[in-house]
Amino acid sequence: MRYQRTLKKSVSVSGIGLHTGKQINITLRPAVSDTGIFFERVDLPGAPSVKAICDYVSDTRLATTIKNGEASISTVEHLMAAFALMRVDNALVEIDGPEVPIMDGSATYFVEKLREVGTVEQEGLRRYIIVTKPITVEERDSQASISPSVESRITCFVDFNHQALDAQTFSISLLNPGLEKEISEARTFGFLKDVEMLRANGLALGGSPENAIVIDENGVMNEEGLRFPDELVRHKVLDSLGDLYLMGAPLIGHFVARKGGHALTHKLLTSLLSNTESWAYIEFR
């Protein structure tokens, strides 16, 4: 993992947007060393682009949105998690709509497409962000922190105060050889009462049991049930991985979230970046 990686060749994906309900097409293309990951809105005049980094996060309600001028793309976290899982540092994402397609609600389809075309090592050294001092942020009963660690690790805790759902905790090292299988298949989820409210406000128009776990007062409504007994917290880990990859480099540290979400993770990363004594760039030569 000393050197940067990109795709061997381009690959295209099509699917429904979770909120617009419209068909959206994306093409993932190779990019040269030190490019990073860029999204390009090919449906807009001039095909404006935005780099997938924290500086351009514009909204964290329901999903993570990045924006630069006229270029705005939401729900980037699952694709970013797939890039992280496949160790892709440089890529161009051409997209013809305002949100990344939701696919089955997990990162599996993106991971499979990246594996299908393969990745290639580049000349540039891979740069990491190593955490040197702990940082913690809180909001009401939610907390997120990142602290120094000899390995990259994500730990998430959820408790929905729901009669049919137990509190769940999941922790995994990003060096775990089974990482991809353990979290990429975990689907996004929503509560039926919230889905009805969102649709009344023109959101979640593409949501369905085919691309999300739907929960009512009695528990999971999907006929096939869960892929893992703790699929909900595993998806929180997946979301966290995608949001953390917006640092623009892999993090070496232990990220912990208690009842967290996109907004709290972004708040933590913003706090970390502003505290230059708490992190440093390193390269393995």
Whether the Cβ atoms of residue 167 and residue 159 lie closer than 8 Å to each other: yes
62 pLDDT above the threshold of 90: no
**Amino acid identity for residue 210 in this structure:** E
Summarize pLDDT for 155-164 with one digit per residue, the tens: 999 999 898 8
| Whole-number percent of the chain with pLDDT over 70 | 100
Q: What is the mean pLDDT of the chain?
A: 95
Half-sphere exposure of 117 (CA within 13 A, CB side): 23
Q: Comparing C-alpha atoms, which of 275, 265, 273, 258 is closest to residue 140? A: 258
Rounded CA-CA distance 101/178 in Å is 25
Confidence (pLDDT) at 148: 98
DSSP-based three-state secondary structure for 139: strand
Give the span between the Cα atoms of 197 and 218, in whole angstroms: 19
In the prediction, which pLDDT does 233 show? Answer: 98
Task: Answer with the residue of higher pLDDT: 207 or 54.
Answer: 54
Q: What is the pLDDT of residue 244?
A: 98
pLDDT band at 224 (very low <50, low <70, confident <90, very high): very high
244 CB-near residues (< 8 Å, 6+ apart): 84, 154, 251, 255, 265, 269
Among residues 66, 34, 31, 61, the alpha carbon closest in space to that of 48 is found at 66
CA angle 154/139/266 to nearest 5° reads 50
pLDDT of residue 80: 98
| Confidence band for 200, pLDDT divided at 50, 70 and 90 | confident
Give mean pLDDT, residues 60-65: 93
Report the C-alpha gap between 99 and 19 in whole angstroms. Answer: 8
pLDDT in tens, 145-157: 999 999 999 999 9
Is the pLDDT at 262 greater than 90? The verdict is yes
Closest C-alpha among 3, 16, 223, 280 to residue 122: 3
Q: What is the pLDDT of residue 161?
A: 87
Residue ranges of domains in the chain, CATH in brackets = 3-126 (3.30.230.20), 128-283 (3.30.1700.10)
Closest by CA to 129, choosing from 231, 8, 251, is 251
266 assigned to active site:
no
Q: With 90 as the cut, is the pLDDT of residue 129 above it?
A: yes
Flag whether pLDDT at 196 surpasses 80: no
SS3 138: strand
Average pLDDT over residues 258-283: 96
Residue 266 has pLDDT above 80, yes or no: yes
pLDDT in tens, 99-110: 999 999 999 999
Least confident of 18-22, 182-186, 201-205, 247-251: 201-205
Other beta carbons within 10 Å of 138 = 13
Given the residues 19, 78, 254, 262, the one annotated as active site: 262
179-201 CB burial, b ≥16 within 10 A, e <16: bbebbbbbbbbbbeeebeebeee
Q: What percent of the chain has pLDDT over 90?
A: 89
